[in-house]
Amino acid sequence: MAVPLDKQISQLNDARRIVLGDPSFYPRVVESILPIVGANAALELQRWGVEFLAETFASPVIPNKVKEQMAIPVLSTLKDLLEIPGGHDTAVLKGVVQASASVYPLIFKYMHGKISHYQGTLLNSFDNGSIDNPIDVPVWNNMALIKSNIFRRWDTSVSGVKICCIKFVQKVIQVQTPGVIADPRRPEQNETSIALVPRDHPLIPPPKLEPETSGLLDRLLDVFNQDTSDAILVDATLNCLGILLRTRQSIANKIISAILKFNPLKPANSPLSTKANIQIRSMEKSTRALLLHVYRRNPESPITARIKQYVDRLTQSRIDIFDDGVSKKRALPFEPTDGLDSTKRRRLGAELPPNTGFPLAPNGPNSLAQLYTLTGDQTLASFDVKQLPQDLVVSISQGLLAHINQQELDQAINFVRSRFLSISKPPQSGALGEDEEDYEPDFEPNEDREQILNRADALPPEDSAEAQAEVALGPFELPQPPPLTQKEMAEVGRGTVNRVFGMIPVLDEPAGVKKAKPGLNRLAGSTYDREAWITFITRLATRAPAGLSDDGEEEVESKALTPANSQPSQLAEVIRDNLWRYIMEDFRARIHVAISWLNEEWFNDKMQQQAFTGQADKDCKSSPPKQYYETCVLKILDGIMPYLDAKDKLLVRFLSEIPEVSEQVLERVKSLAKDPERVDLAVRGILYVLSYPHANFPDDHVKLTSMHSYLVMFKPPAREISLDAMEDLWRNYDDAKAPTTKYLQKWRPHVLPPAPAKSNLQVPNGAIPAPEVKEPRSPLPTPVQGGAGTAAPQAKGEGSDLKSPTGGGMPVAAAG
């Protein structure tokens, strides 16, 4: 120690300057200073020594291989420095522990490399018969001693040393927890971890180290559980955990859980001193920084939701506790500062153009290779990987895959994705511009307007006019109107019916224009004149419940009309009402309308009855369909009867042309006889039912005899009731006695008191067929009705089967 201390230090500084300038001198310098700065040296030298060693093993410019070699001789010095009796110099201890933390992975790797080497030489050594001692036991022993010494100091030292112990422990945990083996074939490239050590390593057997590691981790994380948290220890721990969270997946969750249980603001209940304030703020900020770091690195991880929640809660608590701090922070942006502040915050990408990658043709075809080429370098982009041998490609890609930065990969994938989307989107201008021939307006697009608008928003704003045109082309769907109430529907229905009737006067035409009669070939409702319109209306009324469009019997049958009282029949009632009113307005001119209507009604009743009986076999629930014919006949009859005069032929025609005569109808007719003036009319009406003239139906005058037989002959089912009515007239109406006697004599002579006239019932009966034969040319009251070639006369034309009145109605219906 002849050399004065400061001179020695000065010399050492010179040496340091040399190695800083040229790192290759490090091994020699380290070797030569070790004896000078050892446990026996002066404190100043020790401090300088450990500082230098810590700096050396931390230096990023020295290759790991070199550091590993230097580490072995350093171990004993470090151990001695730790074991100086009474040696408590903080600076020395801090330096030693820092250096040890850097050295530990090196030694660990050295031990592992040694065993690899040992295994290699073992195989070779069988030849020459000698084995070197391959396992460097003293080296590991030194390391183990340093390790245990540092663990002991962890609890007892001052904070400055403690934090270094924390870092050392973190390093030990990092090394003794399996890491990712990037490339097993190149161990020197791999991060040192226990994953590289064989299970049966004699000195560092992983099974023995694992419990130690686990215990160390627990102890390390214990700082978060303590009530009186020392900010510096918490910060030191938090800030060293990042690397473990990133590279040691097996323990990451445990660490995160421990942090999430930690509440750095817990001590902030009582009024805070400035120091406590600073400490709490410090812990809070450090916790937040670490968690946000984890969050940003892997936002997809399942734990990030909890992290987010924790950070949010932390923010809220902090605002509650340090509201003054917050207000100070809030005040900042409002400060008018000079230009420096605001411009600095402005995002300017001008100087650094974004990576656009290989340019893609906007319209032309692009190869997959072009799509995935992200480099802007032309020569690199045109490089053909296929030229390389396959095994080389495989080994290169393996190495590359292991070193891919997740963030960069994600960015690249997103970039390719956006490129793909941009070219796979059909060019917007094409649909509207050049290819107008191919343009087919789609009136039933799959998207609604919102979606189209959204898509339009997402489009690049090439041309706002075009974008608007695209929007305008989208079909607009009116919202559904609110459902109509029953009342509203009835009103609307009535309005519709009124409009339908309103058509009739519009279609008015001169009566005499149409001379040609199509006869049997006529098709109902095909001429689009007033008559056709009336046919249409009558059928609308009668068959509305069966469906407005159906014309045929099959349809009627299939549709069965179960909801007889539902909406359509109400509509039908309205139509019937209007129809009746229409007829009554001018019943003489419109009697043919009444007749064709009643024919339709009667036919419809029969069809429904048929359908009902057909269906009743299968389903007996439904009620029998309502019969309208009868009511309608009576209603019309009631309507016209008051206006009939004694010589009116209208009644006879009406009675003759309606498809069915019932007792009730005759009852009405009979009532006419109450009026002495109209007795004749009533009798004629009823007699008409009984007998029919052989001759033509005279226009001007109708012989009673011929008329009376009308119903009897042409409506056989009505004969009996007609005769009953006749008899009733004879008995009850004095005025009617005279005209009826004659006919009763003919048909029911037994009713009359015995008279001189001989009765011959057979003759008229035998005479019935005769008029049938002539009938087609005969009965038409055409002059009166003005060319009304309605259903009734034709029904009579069918003639041959007079027993079935349906035979009369059917052809008319079928013709429609």
Partner 1 sequence: MAVDPRRAHLADPRRTALATPTPPPPPATRPPSSTSPTNGVVNGSVSPQKDDSPDYRLRFCTVCASNQNRSMEAHLRLAAASYPCISFGTGSLVRLPGPSLTQPNVYQFNTTSYQSMYDELSAKDPKLYQQNGLLTMLERNLGVKWGPERWQDWSIGAPRLDNVAKGDQGAQGSEAGLVDVVITCEERCWDTLVDNLIERGGGLNRPVHVFNVDIKDNHEEALVGGKAILDLANSLNDAAKQERNLNGQPRGDFDEKVPNILAEWQERWPQLPALWSLCWF
| Region 39-78 residues binding partner 1, contact defined as CB under 8 A | 43-44, 47, 54-55, 58-61
Q: Is 286 in the site for partner 1 (CB under 8 A)?
A: yes
Cβ-based neighbours of 99, under 8 Å, separated by 6 or more: 50, 53, 54, 56, 57, 74, 78
- Do 282 and 231 contact (CB within 8 A), yes or no? yes
Is 785 one of the binding residues for partner 1 (CB under 8 A)? no
Q: Smallest Cα–Cα separation from 31: which of 70, 76, 78?
A: 70
Using the rule CB under 8 A, which residue among 20, 181, 421, 738 binds partner 1? 20
**158 vs 413 by CB, closer to partner 1:** 158
Task: Rule CB under 8 A: say whether 304 interacts with partner 1.
Answer: no
The distance of closest approach from Cβ of residue 245 to partner 1 in the complex, given in angstroms and rounded to an integer, is: 9
With CB under 8 A, what is the number of residues at the site for partner 1? 82
What is the distance of C-alpha 386 from the center of its chain? Answer: 45
Q: Which of residues 211-240 bind partner 1 (CB under 8 A)?
A: 230-232, 235-236, 239-240
Of 133, 269, 273, 521, the residue at the interface with partner 1 (CB under 8 A) is 273
- Smaller CB distance to partner 1: residue 282 or 301? 282
DSSP 225: T
95 and 50 Cβ atoms separated by less than 8 Å: yes
The residue among 346 and 487 lying less far from partner 1, judged by its C-beta, is 346
Angle at 716 between CA 710 and CA 719, to 5 degrees: 70
Determine, following the binding rule CB under 8 A, whether residue 392 of this chain makes contact with partner 1.
no
Among 1, 6, 126, 186, binds partner 1 (CB under 8 A): 6
Residue among 36 and 712 whose Cβ is closer to partner 1: 36
| Displacement of CA 640 from its chain's centroid (Å) | 65
As measured in angstroms, the least distance from the Cβ of 343 to partner 1 is 4
Quote the CA–CA distance of 288 and 281 in Å, as a whole number: 10
One residue of 293, 417, 703, 774 binding partner 1 per CB under 8 A: 293
Pairwise CA distance, residues 70 & 57, whole Å:
9
- Which 793-812 positions form the footprint of partner 1 (CB under 8 A)? none
Name the nearest CA neighbour of 726 among 656, 679, 660. Answer: 679
Token readout for 387 is 């030229």
Site for partner 1 contains 91 (CB under 8 A): yes
Confirm or reject binding of residue 243 to partner 1 (CB under 8 A): yes
Closest separation in Å from C-beta 310 to partner 1: 17
Residue choice 279, 535, 691, 794 for contact with partner 1 (CB under 8 A): 279
Residues numbered 324-383 forming contacts with partner 1, rule: CB under 8 A:
325, 328-329, 332, 335-344, 346, 348, 350-352
* Amino acid sitting at position 36: I
Binding of partner 1 by 278 (CB under 8 A)? yes
Q: Tell me which of 182, 195, 289, 432 binds partner 1, using CB under 8 A.
A: 289
Half-sphere exposure of 310 (CA within 13 A, CB side): 25
Q: How far is the CB of 373 from partner 1 (least distance, A)?
A: 26
Q: In DSSP terms, which residues pair with 691 in a beta bridge?
A: 709
Stretch that binds partner 1, among 15-23, 367-375, 536-544, 780-788 (CB under 8 A): 15-23
List the one residue from 128, 133, 269, 274 that touches partner 1 (CB under 8 A): 274
**What is the footprint of partner 1 within residues 482-521 (CB under 8 A)?**
none
Closer residue to partner 1 (CB): 61 or 385: 61
Q: Judged by CB, which is closer to partner 1: 94, or 112?
A: 94
Could you tell me which of 47, 57, 51 has the C-alpha nearest to residue 23? 57
CB nearer partner 1, residue 160 or residue 552: 160
Cα–chain center distance at 340: 50
- Nearest to partner 1 of 192, 785 (CB atom): 192
784 binds partner 1 (CB under 8 A): no
Q: For residues 102 and 740, which CB has a smaller minimum distance to partner 1 in the complex?
A: 102
**H/E element, 566:** none
Burial degree of 559 (CB within 10 A; 0-12, 13-18, 19+): middle
Whichever of 288 and 719 has its CB closer to partner 1, that residue is 288
Stretch that binds partner 1, among 89-97, 116-124, 712-720, 743-751 (CB under 8 A): 89-97
Q: Within 158-187, which residues bind partner 1 (CB under 8 A)? A: 158-160, 163-164, 167-168, 170-171
What SS3 class is residue 691?
Answer: strand
Q: Which residues contact 533 (CB under 8 A, 6 or more apart)?
A: 503, 504, 507, 525
CA of residue 791 relative to chain centroid, distance: 59
Q: Which of 1, 2, 4, 21 binds partner 1 (CB under 8 A)?
A: 21
- Taken in order 606, 610, 616, 619, is the CA torsion positive or negative? negative
Task: Name the helix (H) or strand (E) containing 290.
Answer: helix 274-297
Q: Which is nearer to partner 1, 68 or 657 (CB)?
A: 68
* Cβ contacts of 287 within 8 Å, gap of 6 or more: 238, 259, 262, 264, 314
Burial class (CB in 10 A: 0-12, 13-18, 19+), 624: exposed
**Which one of 272-280, 445-453, 649-657, 672-680 is the stretch in contact with partner 1 (CB under 8 A)?**
272-280
Which residues lie below 8 Å from residue 615, measured CB to CB, with a gap of 6+? Answer: 560, 622
Interaction with partner 1 in 98-157: which residues (CB under 8 A)? Answer: 98, 101-102
Q: Interface with partner 1 includes 440 (CB under 8 A)?
A: no
For residue 584, what are the contacts with CB-CB under 8 A and spacing of at least 6? 639, 640
Q: Show the tokens assigned to 531.
A: 């008559």
Min CB(391)–partner 1 separation in Å: 34
